[in-house]
Amino acid sequence: MVRPADAGLLDELASTPLSGLSRSLGIDIEKWLPVASSPLPITLRVTPNRHDIEWTRNMLESIGGEKIPWMVMSESWVMPFSKGDYPSDEAKKIITLLHETGRITRQEAVSMLPPVVLEPKKDDLVMDTCAAPGSKATQLAEAVPNGLVLANEPSSGRLNLLTTNRGRLGIENMLIMQHDGRHIGRMPEPGVDGVIVDAPCSGTATTRKNRELWKSWTPKVGRSLFKLQSDIATRAAQLLRPGGKMVYSTCSLDPVENEAVVCEILQRCPWLELTNIDADRLFPTLIYHRGRNDWPILDESAEVVDWEGEMPRLVGLSEEMLNPYQRGIESPDLSKTIRVHQHENNTGGFFVALFEHVAERTPEGIARSMILHRELNREPEELPRRKRSKHTTIPASKDVVDDICKKWGIDKDEFAWWQRGKRVNLSSRMAYDRLYKPIVVNKKGDYWPGDDFHPLKIIHVGQPTFTDNKGIWRPRQEALGLLRGRISASVVEIDQETMISLIQGNAPLREEFVTEIERGSFVLKCGEFFLPAWVAARVSLMLDEKEKEIIRMKLGIESEEEEE
């Protein structure tokens, strides 16, 4: 059970600007405050298509987990405890191991809304403009198994989190790039099919995990983010093909960051149309509210400022942040957007809006950023390629691909193959066909000749799958889920007794191994278990301790720590 704050603290929090913001939105403070000040229950997504998904479900049920009833488009669970209040060491161990081995992804329940609202087709090219740490980007990747996710993150530190989550889940249909979201590079025509802008925000709806907000937030915080949010969304809209859809979302309650930004996006991007979110179909039983067009102006104490026809002098306030009536403009139908409040579903709070690039408003048939503003009265010029370094990812050579496919019995046509130093990555073919191979035209009409991702700053392509070890391509552990069912060679069957001996740390001499085996890299198979191994003088498992512990749990074997 998630515990609320004590009565004394509730009285203190009731007088904060955050509570004033909630009152101004008509939220029942007496019902909202105890929940908004309590820790969030742990929620998570179960990774689809894992061979042992039923075992994962059983483990979650064993510690009290239940499926989230309103999240029907993505298998999601809620636990009866918070991150800081595990009922036992065993429960903590189970959640940690399942997450770190890629069987689940810990994610706030409301954070799962945007990918579901976008409803991408399975073969779409979709972009996440602010992707780290990667929960929504990986959720998108699962929704487009035959497509591709362009996951963008400007911060190098946060980009590493995104990369870690991509690898943990073994996702091959994702490219990770690094751009300021306001200046994402040009790409081949016609643009992306869908985009999520989960914009940087004040986080006023995240009080259940960010307690410092109760003391730090005042209305000027949301106003300081308005331009950044609008600029990121505008750039995303410029890269969206006609007919494509864009989701704008925040984890904020503040209308200045939500409905006001929606109005600004529509003012800047007349090719977009606000689309109704069919929440009853997408999220049955979720309690939500429709967006509003009558938000008040708040002073720094979050007290409502009466509107007298003139904009009051408040820090950071500009005309674009006023409601449509105050601005004297026609209001878009903001009831097409949705709001979720913390107390009504035992979640965090959230805001989501859905837009469509109306095809008839862009007869050129390409994203707005790709339309030349003036006719080119000369032959287009080929622009110079960027210089490549040892860190540049390039298509793997035919010899390398043939060597790997011969060794492991893989159908080479199923993937695009990439190489970076001694590492080979696999990605969906769309990465090559739609982003790498085509030319890219700049705003003057000149072009980069293709066979390069430039001017997109791609940092990682697909899933690291093989590593060159002394001239032998060995599979990486995190790619075994991707390779399962796809490799038909270099697989050696072993019995359970041998497997147990290996996971307990034994490394037998090659000559004494249970079956004849050559030197090099192999996958040892025992029932459902795939174990990468390196064979030299001895047979050694290339499996980390977390995956070994999963095997022990499945077989009911005590770990070495428990034995001690």
Distance CA 496, CA 139 (A): 35
Asked whether 140 and 74 are in contact (CB, 8 A), the reply is no
Q: Using CA of residue 214, residue 215, residue 221, residue 225, what is the dihedral sign?
A: negative
- How large is the angle between the packed helices 259-268 and 219-238, nearest 10 degrees? 40
Catalytic residue among 130, 201, 251, 526: 251
Tokens standing for 322?
């006023």
Distance CA 541, CA 346 (A): 44
Among the listed residues 347, 365, 442, 321, the one whose alpha carbon sits nearest the alpha carbon of residue 78? 347
Tokens standing for 9?
């603290």
Distance CA 369, CA 363 (A): 14
Residue with tokens 């007794």: 497
**What's the distance, Cα to Cα, between the start and end of the chain in Å?**
33
Distance CA 501, CA 421 (A): 35
Distance CA 84, CA 95 (A): 13
Helix, strand, coil abundance in the chain, percent, nearest 5: 35, 20, 45
Asked whether 564 and 507 are in contact (CB, 8 A), the reply is no
Distance CA 26, CA 224 (A): 24
Q: Could you write out the DSSP letters of every residue in 200-236?
A: ----TT-TTT-TTHHHH--HHHHHHHHHHHHHHHHHH
Task: Please provide residue 101's backbone torsions phi and psi, each rounded to the nearest 5 degrees.
Answer: -95, 10
Task: From residue 13, give the alpha-carbon distance in Å to each of 29, 154, 217, 260, 433.
Answer: 10, 34, 12, 27, 54
For the question of residue 251 being annotated catalytic, the response is: yes
Tokens standing for 66?
């239940």
- Give the distance between the most distant pair of CA atoms in the chain: 90
Distance CA 61, CA 80 (A): 11
Among the listed residues 480, 559, 562, 561, the one whose alpha carbon sits nearest the alpha carbon of residue 525? 480
Tokens standing for 209?
């995990």
Task: From residue 388, give the alpha-carbon distance in Å to each of 384, 385, 401, 453.
Answer: 12, 9, 21, 11
* SS3 annotation, 516-551: CCCCEEEEEEECCEEEEEEECCEEEECCCHHHHHHH
| β partners of residue 508 | none
* Beta-carbon contacts of residue 525 (< 8 Å; ≥ 6 apart): 491, 492, 493, 494, 531
Which positions are catalytic? 251
